[in-house]
Structure 1
Amino acid sequence: MWAPTLRFHGGEFWLICTYILNGATLEDTGDGTQGVLFRTKDVRSDEAWSDPLIFYPNKIDPDIFFEDGRAWIAQQGIILQELDLETGGLSQPPIQLWNGTGGNWPEGPHIYKKDGYYYLMIAEGGTGGRHAVTIARSENLLGPYESNENNPILTNRQTDAYFQRVGHGDIFDDVDGNWWIIVHASRSGPEVRIHPMGRESVLAPVTWEEGEWPVVTNVSGRMDVWPLPEETRDVPGNGPFNGDPDEFVFEASSVMPKHFLHHRVPAEGMFSFSDHGLEIVPSRSNLTGVTHTNDLALKGQRGISFVGRRQTQTIFHFTVDVDASSASRVNEEAGISIFLAQENHADIGVVYLKPCGKDAGLHLRFRAHGKDAPPSVTMALPAGWIEAGPISLHIWTEEPENFHLGASVGDGNVVKLGSVSSHLVSRLDSAQSGTFIGALLGAFATCNGAGEGDDCPEGFVGRFPRWRYDPIAQYIDADEFVEV
């Protein structure tokens, strides 16, 4: 799902976005792209959301604009089509609204009607270091649109700002009439090399006088902003607050936390809870998978036994207790990972191995995948660890540039097995779109290619009784952080 936009109209919330079917081809569009539109009167209820209205857009990044009983879809390009809310049909041919100011990839359009004008705000410059927000306006929805002579109205390109890749904005006003923009940005500095949390959502104040162009405050770690509401946790809804710590002791009555995510759609029954904790049935594919094969299970395209949560602070400590005692075959493994995509991740696991000339048994293994990944490190599980238990696996940061991976018995001293540059999970070593997002911290189980079909040999299940994520500090500039 790419570029969701939420609007409120006619007493309902409308959520529109693009569904990209990578590797698929749709007869209607020929490029594997669907538009989906959901609606609800209660955004906090999973059951209240409608089934999607499917439509087949010409481009990505649809925005929905309502006027006089009609719904219009603006898309990358920048083009406009009317949407039939009953059938999903789109008017043809698309109407060309604006080409932007000359930056590549004009996309992410949003239309606002204010003071007799239709304002058309878009993203330009791609999603990297030249990302920017530009705007035009017209007295007619269908144009012609006049470009703001002060474009771009927001960008940090060609600056030494810590927050980079700033763009793809959406403007809204609060209950006090103050205007804001929400945009993508990465904590990376001008090198745009270290940004494992990917493109985050950043809020900045906007001044928008009657009949004038909006004036946007540049994004930085410290900004003068409009008055914010008093902080409170007494709000409707359920689930954790963004940035909160995790402290889970999983048991049979547990349910999957709402902020946990999967990479690819998991197979049915892959995750469950018992008195032993979170139980993960291993996948044949490990977190990397096998590229040169027609076996979809080995590629990881039949589900990967991994569940994680986003890294939400620059400095953190992630710890998961693991029980891999049911492992009895070579390469059966349970562990944790800092994971961007199958091409880019670093893992530490408890794995059953039989080294040459030695007895088979459980080992600790650190390994990473991606450009410039360090060599793997394997060591026999120290004597007494199983009996003393539980075995705790750790991923942590001490500064923005590196992740460290290690293991301990419970809360004892951590044995560090390896470290990786944060750059490993800030870029993607393929042509896919992993750099749009940030890294996940999570748990996995795999038989590393054994078995057949979609299934590993029976008998091994990875068990994870306890899961902790401790936020420590957030960097807001290259040499400034705030403690959490």
Structure 2
Amino acid sequence: MKALSLFVAASLTRLGSAQPAKQQNSTIYNPILPGFNPDPSCVFVKEWDNTFFCATSTFLAFPGIPIHASKDLQNFRLIGHAFSRPEQLPAFGNITGQQQGWYAPTLRYHNKRFWIINSCVGAATGYWSTSDPYNNDAWTNVTPTEIPGYDPDIFWDTDGTIYSAFAKTVQNDPFTTEIHQVNISMPSGNTTTDRFLWNGTAVQPPEGPHMMLKDGYHYLLLAEGGTAQAHQVTIGRGKSAQGPFEADPANPILTAYNTSEYFQTVGHADLFQDSAGNWWGVALATRSGPEYKTWPMGRETVLYPAKWEKGQWPVLGGPVKGKMSGPLPAVNKNIRGSGAFVKDPDYYKFSPGSSIPSHFSYWRFPKTEDYAVSPKGHPNTLRLLPSRSNLTGDATALPTDGITFIGRRQTDTLFIYSVDVDFSPSSVGDESGVTLFLTQNYHADLGIVRLNKTGIYLRFHAEGPAAPKDTIVAVPQRWNKQVLTLQIQAYNTTHFSFSAGPKAGKMQQIATVPATLVSNGFTGSFVGVYATNNGNTKSNTPSYVSNWVYQGQGQYIGNGEFYPSNGQKGGAGF
């Protein structure tokens, strides 16, 4: 899926032709947005203090479509979410498919506003905007548009016409798409009848179109080959936004297909300039190697240098690697907001007066009453009330029922995640614990659970094809009535361990799981906590979580090489 674009701030429709500055090269560390951050779409906005803004896909994670900001293209801070309120698109809460939700966003800056257009598969397609990306509440509600496809682009031409190119499915077996286009009227959102635009190099499926205007040409950037090993970036150009388009003879201009690179599935690219006139590109990639078996963090955002001379085709600086070289802007972490930088660890105590960190995610809309920071009588905890459904759900579960789950993205190859859980399950079915969560169809959990009237157990359960069998261990007598520490560790590049022990005591490993279990589909892994009564609706036993710690222990970039995770403590209320 998808291809994206970035434009200079002055005009999203007219990219400049400034000559690259003579700037010393420095090291680019990829991925720049680690973990589940696919389909990047970014803009550089000079009048917003020379800042780069990027949006990525979120599918069923909520809040949706994170907005990250950076001034140096290496240190990105989460400044908000474009989709943070149910009233923006209520139908999101009714989506059933685990691979549905918000696909690839297109982020643009036009007439002093930031705009997003996107397809929420299973709900609606539409656009919305804000005058302040640092304020979640400033984003408008979604204006629905009749676009018969996905991965929509938005482009303002010089005559004021607003175009949207998109991928239209024309056949399901085999899956076949075409790039079509409509005109959009604002503020109504009305569209013209769609028309065929271009099919790139005819490598199916063409997706993620993004249009930009440079040196008298309308350029159309595509993602072709699907979002797996054959993913590739292609480009064409024409004198009109409606075509026809000629293909770059060098297509594909970026790909990892048929290579031995560790960073695979490279595609869904975007191009933009910095304040010095240097060209850059972003794309999605998976750290899987050509074997494409183990990639638990899903599709991540990578950066590479580019060149684009006047009147010529862009030349992208691949292949994408974990360490590259380019004329990066000077290091500058002076970014507004209180959100975490993407490479920061977590150290949270949920102290009184603090709020749930903005980089934590739910699955669909949460029932907010099921989550409380430092409730009365339980300071320095996050209280969870159980959902009827467990993390997988059952045939009677509805999307609106909700699951009590909250997590953060796995952003490091190696990491340790732990929480203290104060939980006294009183009814059969009561369960609370930690989870390695990809979707409701793929996850691995370690919970404290009451399985009968007399016993409390630690239960490891994994969901998905080839999942290991459950491991059930009675909670040792000496641990009874103690707060327990539950831990998930990525102890190498291919496996996770699940452990438990008394708070501040010795940990006991309960189970391990291969990372292949959560290397699947469009999303990436979260680690977090959950609570459920497993269908025993008469029970509402609370669970109290404290001392939430996520510490990265290394980023693997292939060929036996790691670079360090950010080890500095961060997070309010610690």
Instruction: Report the TM-score, using the length of structure 2 for normalisation.
Output: 0.76
Partner of 2:483: 390
Asked whether 1:308 is paired with 2:407, we answer: yes
Q: Is residue 405 of structure 2 the alignment partner of residue 285 of structure 1?
A: no
Q: Secondary structure at the match of 1:424?
A: helix
Equivalent position amino acid for 1:321 in 2: D
Query: For each residue in 1:440-482, what CA deviation from the matched residue of structure 2 results, as whole angstroms up to 9, or x when unmatched?
Result: 101000111212xxxxx24401210221101110011142111
Among 526, 535, 549, the residue aligned to 1:468: 549
Residue 423 of structure 2 aligns to a residue in which SS?
coil
What percent of counterpart residues are identical? Answer: 40
Residue 47 in structure 1 maps to residue 137 in structure 2: yes
SS at match of 1:78: strand
Q: Tell whether 2:463 aligns with 1:363.
A: no
For 2:517, what is the secondary structure of its paired residue? helix
**Match of residue 143 from structure 1:** 243
What is the aligned partner in structure 2 of residue 372 from structure 1? 466
Of 370-379 and 331-340, the range deviating more from structure 2: 370-379
Match of 1:436 in 2: 522
Instruction: State the SS of the aligned residue for 2:249.
Output: coil
- How far is 1:231 from its partner? 2.8
Counterpart for residue 414 of structure 1: 507
Give how far 1:268 is off. 4.1
**Cα drift, residue 46 of structure 1:** 1.2
Per-residue deviation, residues 137-177 of structure 1 (Å, max 9, x unmatched): 01121111001111000100111110111111111111111
Equivalent residues of 2:153, 2:166 under 8 A apart: yes
- The answer to whether 1:105 aligns with 2:195 is no
Q: Classify the secondary structure of the residue corresponding to 1:47.
A: helix
Q: Which amino acid aligns with 1:367?
A: H
Q: Distance in 1 between matches of 2:147 and 2:207?
A: 13
Q: Cα offset for 1:5? A: 1.2
Q: Does 1:425 align with 2:529?
A: no
Structure 1 position 239 matched with structure 2 position 339: yes
State the alpha-carbon separation in 2 of the partners of residues 339 and 82 from structure 1.
40
The count of aligned residue pairs is: 449
Residue type of the alignment partner of 2:241: L
Match of 1:430 in 2: none
**SS across alignment from 2:448:** strand
Q: Give 1:220's aligned residue.
A: 320
* Partner residue in 2 for 1:28: none
Q: Indicate which of 359, 373, 376 corresponds to 1:259.
A: 359
Contact 2:422 2:483 in 1 (8 A): yes
For the residues of structure 1 that align with 2:219 and 2:475, how far apart are their CA atoms? Answer: 63
Deviations 1:48-81 (Å, cap 9, x if unpaired)? 2122221121110111101222211111121121
Q: 1:71 aligns with which of 162, 186, 190?
A: 162
CA contact 2:227–2:265 (8 Å) conserved in 1: yes
Q: Is the contact between residue 178 and residue 226 of structure 1 (CA under 8 Å) also seen in structure 2?
A: no
Task: Give the deviation of 1:223 after TM superposition.
Answer: 4.6
Checking the alignment, whether the CA contact within 8 Å between 1:402 and 1:420 is kept in structure 2 is: yes
The AA in structure 2 aligned to 1:305 is: T
Letter aligned with residue 361 of structure 1: G
Structure 2: distance between partners of 1:283 and 1:175: 49
Deviates more, 1:170-179 or 1:264-273: 264-273
Instruction: Give the CA deviation at 1:281.
Output: 1.0
Judge conservation of contact 1:13–1:39 (CA < 8 Å) in 2. Answer: yes
Letter of the aligned partner of 1:337 in structure 2?
Answer: T
Could you tell me which runs of 5 or more consecutive residues in structure 2 were left unpaired when the two chains were aligned.
Answer: 1-101, 168-177, 566-574
Partner SS for 1:3: coil
Q: Do the aligned residues in 1 keep the contact of 2:273 with 2:280 (CA within 8 Å)? A: yes
CA contact (8 A) 1:187 1:476 kept: yes
5 Å-filtered alignment, 1:438-453, equals 438-451=524-537
222 and 260 in structure 1: CA distance in 2 versus 1, 3 angstrom threshold: closer
- AA aligned opposite 2:548: W
Secondary structure class of the residue paired with 2:516: helix
Name the aligned partner's letter for residue 376 of structure 1. Answer: D
Equivalent residue letter for 1:419: T
SS in structure 2 of the partner of residue 212 of structure 1: coil
Q: Distance in 2 between matches of 1:411 and 1:113?
A: 60
Choose from 181, 185, 189 the match for 1:84. 185
Deviation of 1:331 after TM superposition, in Å, equals 1.9
2:120 is aligned to: 19
CA RMSD of the aligned region, Å? 1.5
- Partner of residue 201 from structure 1, selected from 287, 296, 301: 301
In structure 2, how many angstroms separate the alpha carbons of the residues matched to 1:193 and 1:459? 40
User: Does residue 338 in structure 1 map to residue 436 in structure 2?
Assistant: yes
Residue 436 of structure 1 aligns to a residue whose secondary structure is coil
- What is the CA-CA distance between 1:250 and the residue it aligns to? 1.4
> In 1, distance between residues paired with 2:189 and 2:130?
17
Asked whether the 8 Å contact 2:256–2:266 carries over to 1, the reply is yes
The structure with higher relative contact order (CA 8 Å, sep 6+) is 2
